[in-house]
Structure formats: structure tokens, C-alpha cells
Amino acid sequence: MRRLAPSLALLLCALAPGFAHAQEKPKPEVKGVSVLALRAGQTATVLLYGENLEPTAVTPKPPLTATLGEVKATEGDDKKRGAKQVAVEVQVPAGCPPDLYDLTLVHAGDVKVVGRVAVVAPAAQELEVKRPNATFAQAMPLPGPDVAVTGALQGDTPDIFRFDAKAGETWEITLLAGRAGSSLDPVLRLRDRRLIPLALSAGDDKKDRQITFRVPADGPYFVELTDAEARGGAGFLYRLVVRRKPS
């Protein structure tokens, strides 16, 4: 027995890391949000979706303040966004600068996981996407020279928008999505009245999309939004801003 003791000790040492690893709790993960963007002075309940979420506190990046709400299992289609959802009431003070702000969920043992929400500068008109708008004939009209539209891309069909512009004007089209936690990998196209593509913005799914162009002729123009892999659903959130730049 004395001869076997050293071998047994070595075996136990070799197995010890495996036992310790087996006892570790699964790491929490935030996979998506219910609200992509907030504005200064706004208070809203943001749902953070993910796996193994059981936070005991939430710590927001200043100057935001936040209160931890209900933690529960997701249901229905939201299960695709994660098994758990955490409600966080977020208060954005007046004058808060536009930026990306962390919402840190603190778990037992000081384990932390980060969700994010964007604070954005308001547009003159803030709209929700109106459907059907999956064809150019159905394109959602954007009134005025400074409009923001929020929505979620559905299925494998595009969201299409129309605005009127005059020759010589400069317009800027920006899209917020993956950088703020959306599942969307956006492809943004600009087309003229004949539906000829004039500009394309695509690439890194964690970066905003942007198109700046000088209008060649009076008439309607179309903004076409799709996902790079033809996906869609509740987690494919976006905020589109179409704005005429000062001359």
C-alpha cells in the first residue's frame, strides 16, 4: 500500500482541476436588449436578455442611474434572445451626452457581465416603423428633413423608406444597430427614383452604418435596409436617422 500512495496522490492532483471546473457555475452572458437607444431626460425599462443571468445589483455608467427589477425566464419568441431576461429601469438625466453606456449586472461572487444602451441626440421627428414597407411601392414616407425611425427587421424581407430631396442638397443617413446590442448585421442601400443603387454601407456588424451624399436631381430617394444573412426578429433592432445637412 505504501508503494501505491505516491501514485494515488499524483492521480488525485491531476483530477483536482477537473473536479473544480465541474463545480464552477456557468458564466452569465448578455445577448441582447429590448431598447436600443434612449434620449436625454428619458426614463425607460430596458430588458437585458441572455444566459445564466441572476444579478443582485446593476451598476450603470455615469451619469445614468439604474434600478434592478425583475429577473425571470423568457417566454415565446423571446427565448431566441436568451433563457433569462433582466428588467432594469434606466434614468437618463437631462443634458446627458450622446454615447454608448454600460449597464453592468453584478452577480454573486462579484461576477460581472455588461449590457449596453445608447443615448442618442433626438431628431426633429421620432417615428416607429410602419408596415407593410417591404416593397418600394409600400416604402414608408419620411416627412421633413430630420427624421429618426426605430424598429426591428422582420424575417428575410427588407424595410424600405422614402424621402424627397432637391438637387444640390447634402443628406446624411445613419443606422445604429449592433454597436448597441442588436443582433442585426445591417446592409444599408440608397436608391434613386429609378431604383438604381447610389450608395452602399455594410461591413463590421458592430459599427454604425453611414451614407453621406449630394443629391444629383430633384425627386424621391429610397433607403433599403436588410440583414447580411437575411435574418430578422425581435432582437434585430435598429435606429435609422435621415437628415438633411445645413447648406
pLDDT at position 13 over 60: no
Is residue 94 located within the same domain as residue 145? no
pLDDT band at 1; cut points 50, 70, 90: very low
Average pLDDT value for residue range 209-230: 97
Is 178 part of any domain? yes
Is residue 195 located within the same domain as residue 108? no
> Could you tell me the residue range of the domain that residue 56 belongs to?
29-120
Length of the chain: 247
Is residue 90 located within the same domain as residue 133? no
Is 6 part of any domain? no
Mind listing the pLDDT tens digit for each residue in 47-79?
A: 999 999 999 999 999 999 999 999 999 998 888
- Report the CATH number that the domain containing residue 79 is assigned in CATH: 2.60.40.10
Domain end among 105, 120, 135: 120
Is residue 192 located within the same domain as residue 231? yes
Mind listing the pLDDT tens digit for each residue in 172-207?
A: 999 999 999 999 999 999 999 999 999 999 999 999
Is residue 114 located within the same domain as residue 130? no
Cell numbers that stand for 73 in this block: 425566464
CB 118 within 8 A of CB 176: yes
pLDDT band at 95; cut points 50, 70, 90: very high
Is 212 part of any domain? yes
Is residue 170 located within the same domain as residue 234? yes
pLDDT at position 133 over 80: yes
- Report the CATH number that the domain containing residue 184 is assigned in CATH: 2.60.120.380
Is 2 part of any domain? no
Output the CA–CA distances (angstroms, integers) from residue 169 to 57, 149, 247, in the order listed. Answer: 49, 21, 7
Is residue 175 located within the same domain as residue 104? no
Domain end among 71, 95, 120: 120
Nearest to 160 by CA among 187, 121, 124: 187
Residue 140 DSSP class: E
Is residue 107 located within the same domain as residue 142? no
The mean pLDDT of the chain is 92
What total of structural domains would you count in the chain?
2
Is 215 part of any domain? yes
Domain end among 79, 104, 120: 120
